[in-house]
């Protein structure tokens, strides 16, 4: 049984990234290099932040001792993964988020 890497979509992980009790598998994804239970729990990376960094660094195959599968294409792989938090970057046109009431400014009608 193989599992899909939640960071990069690599479909060949030997174990699920998380065990049922929540501990990491300690497996290192050969594609993006994320180590479940270490990169996240010990080093504080999120899947999203790791993915962003991995993308910026050119989406390189991480495993040095293991060659990528024939025809490996990180972009196709990532697209197939469809990570939940890969929301398209959309910014408000003004550059400032629309905000009605800030914290501590709750408008309350005093009782008469």
Question: Exactly one of 17, 24, 27, 32 binds Zn ion (CB under 5 A); which one?
Answer: 32
**What is the rounded CA–CA span in Å between residue 2 and residue 69?**
14
- Tell me whether residue 8 or residue 94 sits nearer to Zn ion (CB atom): 8
Question: Taking CB under 5 A as the rule, does residue 5 contact Zn ion?
Answer: yes
The answer to whether 28 touches 34, Cβ cutoff 8 Å, is yes
Question: Taking CB under 5 A as the rule, does residue 7 contact Zn ion?
Answer: yes
Question: Exactly one of 29, 36, 45, 47 binds Zn ion (CB under 5 A); which one?
Answer: 29
Q: Specify the stretch interacting with Zn ion by CB under 5 A; choose among 3-11, 40-48, 75-83, 91-99.
A: 3-11
- Tell me whether residue 32 or residue 104 sits nearer to Zn ion (CB atom): 32
- Hey, what are 50's tokens? 């790791």
DSSP alpha helix (H) spans, 8-97: 47-56, 74-81
28 — phi, psi (to 5°)?
A: -100, 125
Handedness of CA 66, 71, 76, 80 (dihedral sign): negative
Residues near Zn ion (CB under 5 A): 5, 7-8, 10, 29, 31-32
């Amino acid at each position: 049984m193989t599992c899909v890497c939640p960071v990069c979509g690599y479909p060949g992980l030997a174990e699920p990234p998380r065990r049922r009790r929540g501990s990491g598998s300690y497996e290192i994804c050969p594609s993006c290099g994320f180590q479940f239970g270490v990169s996240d729990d010990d080093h504080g990376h999120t899947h999203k932040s790791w993915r962003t960094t991995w993308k910026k660094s050119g989406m390189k195959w991480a495993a040095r001792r293991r060659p990528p599968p024939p025809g490996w294409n990180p972009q196709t792989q990532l697209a197939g993964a469809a990570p939940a938090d890969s929301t398209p970057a959309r910014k408000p046109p003004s550059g400032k988020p629309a905000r009605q009431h800030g914290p501590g400014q709750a408008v309350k009608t005093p009782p008469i």
